[in-house]
């Protein structure tokens, strides 16, 4: 061992101890006759002192040669510091060094290893191993470990068994694209990397494992959006002989446990909201309920007047912005510009100022009188001093637009406090979702989700109205988990796949093994998966999942540190029975 | 919830309770007026009783329709059993059923769901979800979970942080073949699946994580031998600022913890053996020391007589088989046939019977007298009643042959007791290994292993003699873990890669990121990885790792249950910029 103590360990009680420390040189302050060095490791920083009177000359010289990030080992005596540093736990002591060994030198790092670094994202990713030395990144990784340990402890104590499912499986184009892996031994054939262990966890239920979980990597070959990773981690869970209520109870328990153990926050029973209500009240299936600003639908009170924009709209809907009546014309114009940005896509915005004197001033005073506007205020819950923002148009679109505005305003108003945790369940998701481009319905959750009892019959007549035993767990405006009760009989699964456009042949080729399994005594079962990266980042009070991943990829799916992906040898390709077929050159 | 209790839970104390149970029909015994059903789930078996006098007629009828592996739910009353079954924990009670629901029917399973099944390996793999219902498989998976939980608890308490490293990395042909993953977004480029997180864990040490572990899947595209899997699991560990002694101490601690917690076995300090001694005494770098039969080298006492076979041999070496002197001529001939099998490859075997009267009878009495043979007995530790088996030839080959014979004999003699645990460390492995086919040296452990201090200079003159700071943990004749102290400076790593035949260009392309990292203050570090599949199977007292994997692949790397790998769509190939280039048709 290169050390007797870590750099986070020594206290006044250790004064006069002879110790050996090792770590990185964080900082050197050289006053000529006296040199201080901050020595850093994962556990903290300890100050070393070298001085002309007490330190041998050659060691003084050596100390003067130290650069940032040099790796050194020192032996010395713990002494009490003259000027104590209350900001660090070792701040009452320092080490009078009697022996110094340079274990490894360092080039000058390309950015400072400080909490607030001068390095930009790109350079920090390229030198991620240096970035990890910084407290914010290091602490996030340790935090992630703490969360996964608590998850495992909790589920294990609840009788769940962690079972490893295979990574080399079969390509089943059920949503996103699969990453595939050519098989050398099986010519012309490919494995796929799992988008999730979905079918395997269901087979484990058929196999009687009863309660399964796994913290597991999943893979999706998607065109990456910001903060999406081609490989991500799930807390994947499944239970047999349960109903939806049991799943909600156990995973609410897990989430509450994490909030308590990790964040020291006690949360009451999680509210539940129907999917339809979430869409109606927040325009969104993952509402942030740390603040109000619920939607007020205004069709009844705003249509059938002379304002054509509203009359022709499928939905007229508004929110009340607390204390927004004081916004200047310029500020409101900026808001209007904001909702008209292509990313939001509204055509315009109607607003109503709710004056302190109980009167209203709107951008559509030409069409509406004070009584009309009073009704709008009532529907949106606006009080004196508030501003009502109203959008109109096609229901789905206008909901998405107003939801974006609601979140933006909340952000600006400081209503999204990362220390406040507001979980809720969204239940009764639709089974199917219409793809507006193709006109086809596809599974909103996945093809194994069970429709609500008695609704299977609606699949032909009103596919969009069939509700599923599907649920999401939402935390602070983010979906952190989702799941469903599964289909567990072959016939229903066949009907479902047929409705999703699978030919019987394709269904058999891709999911035959699962449907076969359903014929040998499949129990009722269901489950849930948490997105671990997202969960950890929210518990950590941050927004960016990349900050909680040791070696993330960039938005082109590249690891810029190791420079992957990369070309491979022709020999390797030949062994795999493959040829490149490049479109560009 | 479909049940109030599991099938492993009810006892005499529950008599008169109204309960709801669910599970699989294990067995139906129909006496006409009375029907017993064994109801099974993960937790046990509970007996259900239906009888003409107490059970409504329609439920009797329903019960008669039940088949094996039907999934049912029953409500009923716990009653005391007339004839108790002491073999199961619920054997004192049974359930008088008042309500029966068939949750799912089952086809007749293709093999019996019993501890001793009538199903062969192939059919059980195809229907693995049914195989998992069997206690031996189910218990193994639960056992595996228990082991990984203990590993995580122990390492976590020792300050190790579990960090997830990426699965989509870069192909670095450093040993076995990589599985590769074509990148759609980066035309003509490929990711590789990790053979191990080796370089990433070293970067984590450069990054100051100090103590890292991960239970992680690794991938090797090898021609599969029996009981090898293309994907396997490692307990991967790394520490900074440590020396070999620290690693041995901490992972000996982990292993001892597992033996104690999982197997309830207390093991003393693990013996350590030099690699050279292991090869000399057991012909093997993973000796099973649950029994003796150490090698006795006989060159000194067997050469320079008239027996040409021995005179021309590089090594003459024997073992004493306890009580083998009683073997008949026929039995010994069979042993000779055994060592001459192509899998072993010896040309012949010389033997000496150590008679009870102190005399010797050998197959080479023509060349050696009683005094000569007495020396052989001394060298091999043979006692009266033993049989000495002697092989000769080229050192490496003859050691491997005699080692195989030693293990075979121990197996036959019942000396490999799976309840006895004999761990040991093998240390001071050679740094390099000669590939006899190519005449090149390659890294015995991997290219990042550090040579022993002061031995770097020998690399040019005597590469085969350079020893490494490398060690294996051996348990009952199996390597369960291995590791090394790593190189942590760029210059040594460059020298090492050059000696392994990498051009400077290749070295930079493949490991440039690691060598760059070494220039920014890399601490001394080292680590170890356990093969989890193997570790679990040995702790579980079994030999076959496949029995401890939920969904293993067969020897052609296929998952016969889901039928993977499989062809993929041309469209998918085109998106990946690939064409098939098949050799056969």
- The predicted pLDDT at position B355 comes to 96
Average pLDDT over residues A88-105: 97
A380-409 pLDDT per residue, tens: 999 999 999 999 999 999 999 999 999 999
Given this model, what pLDDT does residue A24 score? 98
Confidence label for B436 from pLDDT (cuts 50, 70 and 90): confident
Nearest CA to B9 out of B25, B28, B23 is that of B23
pLDDT at A460: 84
- Distance between alpha carbon B156 and the CA centroid of its chain, in Å? 24
Q: Has residue A215 been placed in a domain?
A: yes
Which residues are paired to B530 by β-bridges?
B235, B481
**Cα distance between the two ends of chain B:** 54
Tell me the chain A residues in contact with residue B207 when contact means C-beta distances shorter than 8 Å: 128-133, 138
Q: Which of A206, A519, A524 sits opposite B103 (nearest CB)?
A: A524
Q: Could you give the dihedral angle defined by the CA atoms of residues A143, A145, A150 and A152, in that order, rounded to the nearest 10 degrees?
A: 160
Place of tokens 């008239």: B306
A434 pLDDT more than 90: no
Looking at the structure, tell me whether residues A209 and A266 fall in a common domain: yes
Q: What phi, psi does A563 have (nearest 5°)?
A: 60, 60
Domain boundary among B367, B383, B412: B412
Q: Say whether pLDDT at A83 is over 70.
A: yes
CB A181 within 8 A of CB A191: yes
Q: A223 and chain B: CB distance < 8 Å anywhere?
A: yes
Q: Are residues B72 and B158 in the same domain?
A: no
Q: Token pair of B392, please?
A: 């000769």
Do the beta carbons of residue A66 and residue A49 sit within 8 Å? no
Q: Is A158 exposed, middle or buried (0-12, 13-18, 19+ CB in 10 A)?
A: middle
- Helix, strand, coil percentages (3-state) for chain B, rounded to 5, are 30, 25, 45
DSSP state of A390: E
Q: What is the CATH number of the domain that holds B392?
A: 3.30.1360.30
pLDDT digits (tens, 9 = 90+) for A298-308: 999 999 999 99
What pLDDT shows up at residue A584? 66
pLDDT tens across B226-275, in order? Answer: 778 999 999 999 999 999 999 999 999 999 999 999 999 999 999 999 99
Query: Which residue of A40, A181, A243 is in closest CB contact with B181?
Result: A181
Cβ–Cβ under 8 Å, residues B526 and B250: no
Kindly tell me if the per-residue pLDDT of B440 is higher than 90: no
**Chain-chain contact of B207 with A128 (C-beta, under 8 angstroms):** yes
Q: Using 50, 70 and 90 to split pLDDT, how confident is the model at B441?
A: confident
Tell me the pLDDT band of B481, cut-offs 50, 70 and 90.
Answer: very high
Residue B279 lies in a domain: no
Q: What is the pLDDT at residue A543? A: 81
Which phi-psi region, left, alpha or beta, contains residue A53 (left: φ > 0; alpha: ψ -120 to 50)?
alpha
DSSP conformation class of B520: B
Residue A559 lies in a domain: no
Beta strand spans in B164-314 (E)? 180-182, 190-192, 211-219, 231-240, 272-274, 296-297
Q: Is the dihedral of CA B243, B248, B253, B255 positive or negative?
A: positive
Which residue would you say has higher pLDDT here, A162 or B445?
A162
Q: Please indicate, yes or no, whether residues B323 and B434 belong to a single structural domain of this protein.
A: no
Q: Which of B78, B104, B130 is the last residue of a domain?
A: B104
Of the partner residues A163, A171, A192, the one whose CB lies closest to the CB of residue B141:
A163
The span from the CA of B66 to the CA of B26, in Å, is: 10
Nearest CA in chain A to B515: A562
Distance between B43 CA and the closest CA of chain A, angstroms: 9
CB A423 within 8 A of CB A301: no
pLDDT band of A480, cuts 50, 70, 90: very high
pLDDT of the residue at A232: 97
DSSP secondary structure letter of residue A278: H
DSSP class of A566: B
Task: Kindly state the average pLDDT of the residues B405-419.
Answer: 94
Q: How open is the CA angle B219-B223-B224, to the nearest 5 degrees?
A: 75
Q: How far apart are CA B491 and CA A326, in angstroms?
A: 67
Closest chain B residue to A533 measured between Cα atoms? B164
Nearest to B204 by CA among A93, A133, A359: A133
Cβ within 8 Å of residue A178, ≥6 positions away: A171, A172, A192, A193, A195, A219, A221, B572
Q: How far apart are CA B178 and CA A184, in angstroms?
A: 10
**Whether residues B262 and B295 fall in one domain:** no
pLDDT at A203: 98
Q: Check whether B95 has a pLDDT greater than 70.
A: yes
pLDDT in tens, B183-212: 999 999 999 999 999 999 999 999 999 999
For residues A232 and A220, what is the distance between their CA atoms, to the nearest angstrom? 8
How would DSSP label each residue in B354-401?
E-TTS-EEETTTTT--HHHHHHHHHHHT--TT-EEEEEEESHHHHHHH
Q: What local confidence, expressed as pLDDT, does residue A63 receive?
A: 96
Tell me, yes or no, whether B563 lies in a domain. no
Of the candidates A205, A279, A208, the residue with the CA atom closest to the CA atom of residue A467: A279
In angstroms, the separation between the Cα of residue A81 and the nearest Cα of chain B is 26
Q: What is the mean pLDDT of residues B409-428?
A: 95
* Shortest alpha-carbon distance between residue B88 and chain A (Å): 19
Q: Please tell me whether residues A228 and A302 are part of one structural domain.
A: no
Residue B1 lies in a domain: no
**pLDDT confidence bin for A51, thresholds 50/70/90:** very high
**What is the mean pLDDT of the segment spanning B270-295?**
97
Residue A174: the pLDDT is 59
**Is residue B429 a part of any domain in this protein?**
yes
Q: Chain B contacts of A230, Cβ < 8 Å? A: 168
Identify whether residues B148 and B69 lie together within a single domain. no
Q: Which of A181, A224, A222, A176 is nearest to A196 (CA)?
A: A176
Reading the block at residue A79, the tokens are: 């002494």
C-alpha distance from residue B248 to each of A2, B257, B332, B445 (Å): 15, 14, 42, 17
Spatial separation of the C-alpha atoms in residues B211 and B238, rounded to whole Å:
6
- What does the pLDDT look like over A219-246, one tens digit per residue? 999 887 767 899 999 999 999 999 999 9
Mean pLDDT of A458-484: 94
Q: What percent of chain A has pLDDT over 70?
A: 99
Question: How confident is the prediction for chain A on average, in pLDDT?
Answer: 95
CATH of the domain at A197: 3.30.930.10
Would you state the structure tokens that stand for residue A316, as one six-digit string?
């007229």
Write down the pLDDT at residue A47.
Answer: 98
Confidence of residue B584 (pLDDT cuts 50, 70, 90): low
Q: What is the pTM of this model?
A: 0.95
Question: CA–CA distance from B557 to each of A284, B51, B120 (Å)?
Answer: 45, 51, 19
Q: Is B303 helix (H, G, I), strand (E, B) or coil?
A: coil
Cβ of B24 within 8 Å of Cβ of A169? The answer is no
Q: What is the pLDDT at residue A206?
A: 98
pLDDT given for residue B227 in this prediction: 74
The verdict on B245 and B321 lying in the same domain is: no
Q: Both ends of chain A: CA-CA distance in Å?
A: 54
What is residue A318's three-state secondary structure?
strand
Instruction: Quickly list DSSP for B417-474.
Output: -TT---EEEEE--BSEEE-TTT--EEESS-TTBPBPTT-TTHHHH-GGG-BBSEEEEE
Spatial distance between the Cα atoms of A553 and A541, rounded to a whole number of angstroms: 22
Cβ neighbours around B37 below 10 Å, total = 26
Residue with tokens 């098939």: B580
Residue B123: pLDDT over 60: yes
Which is higher by pLDDT, A544 or A370? A370
Which are the contacts of B477, defined by CB distance < 8 A and separation ≥ 6?
B286, B287, B288, B290, B407, B416
- Which residues lie across from B94 on neighbouring strands? B47, B79
Mean pLDDT of B472-492: 96
Strand ranges for B299-348 from DSSP E: 315-321
Contacts of A574 in chain B (CB under 8 A): 581
Secondary structure in 3-state letters for A188-202 = CCEEECCCCCHHHHH
In the prediction, which pLDDT does A435 show? 84
CA distances from A112 to A123, B160, B204 (A): 11, 26, 18
Give the residue from A3, A135, A547 showing the smallest Cα distance to B207.
A135
Question: Nearest CA to CA, how far is A341 from chain B (Å)?
Answer: 28
Q: Verify whether the Cβ–Cβ distance B107 to A42 is below 8 Å.
A: no
Distance CA(A155)–CA(A237), nearest Å, equals: 9
The token pair that represents B369 in the structure block: 């007298």
DSSP string over A420-442? ---EEEEE--BSEEE-TTT--EE
Asked if the C-beta of B67 comes within 8 angstroms of chain A's C-beta atoms, the answer is: no
Q: Which of B72, B181, B215, B228 to mutate to test the interface with A (most CBs of A within 10 A)?
A: B181
CATH of the domain at A89: 2.40.50.140
Same domain for A150 and A85: no
Q: How many domains does chain B have?
A: 3
Q: What is the token pair recorded at A49?
A: 């002192």
Check CB contact of A139 with chain B, cutoff 8 Å. no
- pLDDT, tens digit (0-9, with 9 covering 90-100), for B507-522: 998 899 999 999 999 9
Specify the pairing of strand A161-162 against strand A211-219.
parallel
Q: A518 with A448, same domain?
A: yes
**Contacting residues of A for B145, CB less than 8 Å apart:** 156, 161-163
The pair of three-digit structure tokens given for residue B463, joined into one six-digit string: 């590469």
Q: How far is Cα A249 from Cα A227, in angstroms, rounded to an integer?
A: 30
Over range A419-433, report the average pLDDT: 95
Any B CB within 8 A of A148 CB: yes
Q: What's the mean pLDDT in B30-40? A: 96
Q: Which of residues 551-580 of A touch B (CB under 8 A)?
A: 551, 553, 556-559, 561-569, 572-580
Instruction: Say if residues B243 and A2 touch (Cβ distance below 8 Å).
Output: yes
The answer to whether residue B283 sits within a structural domain is no
What local confidence, expressed as pLDDT, does residue A387 receive? 97
Of A187, A191, A572, nearest to B564 by CB-CB distance is A191
Same domain, B190 and B215: yes
Q: Tell me the residue range of the domain where A27 lies.
A: 12-104
Q: Does B2 touch chain A (CB under 8 A)?
A: yes
Is B573 part of a structural domain of the chain? no
Q: Has residue B48 got a pLDDT over 80?
A: yes
Given strand A423-427, what is the order of strands in its sheet?
A: A161-162, A211-219, A231-240, A525-531, A478-485, A470-475, A423-427, A272-274
Six token digits for residue B166: 């990426």
Put simply, whether B530 touches A (Cβ < 8 Å) is no
pLDDT class for B377, splitting at 50, 70, 90? very high
**C-alpha distance from A234 to closest chain B C-alpha (Å):** 12
Name the pLDDT band for B173 (thresholds 50, 70, 90): low
**CA nearest A216 in B: which residue?**
B216
Is it the case that residue B463 has pLDDT exceeding 80?
yes
Which residues neighbour B258 within 8 Å (Cβ) at sequence distance 6 or greater?
Answer: B147, B150, B151, B154, B535, B539
Residue B174 has pLDDT above 70, yes or no: no
Q: B554, B551, B563, B559: which is closest to B137 by C-alpha?
A: B551
What kind and span of H or E run contains A128? Answer: helix A128-131
Q: Do A1 and B524 touch (CB under 8 A)?
A: no
Name the minimum distance, in Å, from the CA of B122 to any CA of chain A: 15
Q: Considering B379, B412, B445, which residue would you say is the last residue of a domain?
A: B412
Minimum distance, in Å, between the CA of residue A196 and any CA atom of chain B: 15
Based on the fold, state whether residues A331 and A356 are members of the same structural domain.
yes
B352 and B317 within one domain: yes
Q: What is the per-residue burial (b if ≥16 Cβ within 10 Å, else e) of B229-241?
A: bbbbbbbbbbbbb
Given CB atoms, is B213 within the 8 Å cutoff of chain A? no
């Amino acid at each position: 061992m290169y050390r007797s103590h870590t750099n986070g360990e020594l206290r006044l009680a250790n004064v006069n101890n002879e110790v050996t420390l090792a770590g990185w040189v964080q900082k050197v302050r050289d006053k000529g006759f006296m040199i201080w060095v901050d020595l850093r490791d994962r556990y903290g920083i300890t100050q070393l002192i070298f001085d002309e009177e007490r330190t041998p000359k050659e060691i003084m010289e050596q100390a003067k040669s130290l650069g940032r990030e040099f790796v050194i080992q020192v032996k010395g005596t713990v002494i009490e510091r003259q000027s104590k540093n209350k900001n660090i736990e070792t701040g009452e002591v320092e080490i009078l060094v009697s022996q110094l060994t340079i274990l490894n030198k360092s080039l000058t790092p390309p950015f400072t290893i400080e909490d607030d670094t001068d390095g930009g994202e790109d350079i920090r990713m390229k030198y991620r191993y240096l970035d990890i030395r910084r407290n914010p990144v290091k602490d996030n990784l340790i935090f992630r470990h703490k969360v996964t340990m608590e998850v495992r402890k909790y589920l294990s104590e609840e009788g769940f068994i962690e079972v490893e499912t295979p990574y080399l499986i079969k390509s089943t184009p059920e949503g996103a694209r699969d990453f595939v892996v050519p098989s050398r031994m099986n010519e012309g054939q490919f494995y796929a990397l799992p988008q999730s262990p979905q079918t395997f966890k269901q087979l484990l239920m058929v196999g009687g494992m009863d309660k399964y979980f796994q913290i597991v990597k999943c893979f999706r070959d998607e065109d990456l959006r910001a903060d999406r990773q081609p490989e991500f981690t799930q807390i994947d869970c499944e239970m047999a002989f349960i109903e939806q209520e049991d799943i909600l109870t156990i995973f609410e328990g897990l989430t509450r446990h994490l909030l308590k153990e990790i964040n020291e926050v006690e949360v009451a029973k999680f509210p539940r909201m129907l999917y339809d209500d979430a869409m109606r009240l927040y325009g969104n299936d993952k509402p942030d309920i740390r603040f109000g600003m619920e939607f007020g639908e205004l069709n009844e009170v705003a249509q059938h007047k002379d304002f054509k924009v509203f009359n022709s709209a499928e939905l007229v809907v508004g929110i009340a912005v607390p204390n927004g009546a004081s916004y200047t014309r310029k500020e409101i114009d900026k808001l209007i510009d904001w909702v008209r940005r292509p990313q939001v896509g509204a055509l315009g915005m109607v607003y109503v100022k709710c004056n302190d004197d109980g009167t209203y001033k709107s951008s559509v005073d030409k069409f509406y009188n004070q009584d009309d506007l009073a009704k709008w205020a009532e529907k949106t819950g606006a009080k004196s001093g508030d501003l009502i923002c109203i959008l109109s148009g096609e229901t789905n679109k206008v909901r998405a637009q107003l939801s974006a505005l609601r979140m933006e305003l909340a952000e600006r108003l400081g209503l999204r406090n990362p220390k406040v945790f507001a979980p809720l369940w969204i239940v009764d998701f639709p089974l199917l979702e219409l793809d507006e481009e193709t006109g086809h319905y596809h599974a909103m959750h996945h093809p194994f989700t069970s429709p609500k009892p008695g609704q299977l019959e609606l699949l032909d007549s009103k596919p969009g109205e069939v509700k599923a035993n599907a649920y999401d767990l939402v935390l602070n405006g983010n979906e952190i988990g989702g799941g469903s009760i599964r289909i567990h009989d072959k016939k229903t699964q066949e009907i479902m796949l047929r409705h999703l456009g699978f030919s019987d042949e394709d269904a058999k080729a891709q999911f035959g093994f699962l449907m076969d399994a359903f014929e040998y005594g499949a129990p009722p079962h269901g489950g849930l998966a948490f997105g671990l990266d997202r969960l950890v980042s929210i518990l950590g009070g941050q927004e960016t999942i990349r900050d909680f991943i040791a070696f993330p990829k960039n938005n082109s799916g590249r690891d810029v540190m190791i420079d992957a992906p990369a070309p491979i040898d022709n020999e390797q390709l030949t062994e795999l029975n493959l040829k490149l077929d490049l479109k560009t050159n």
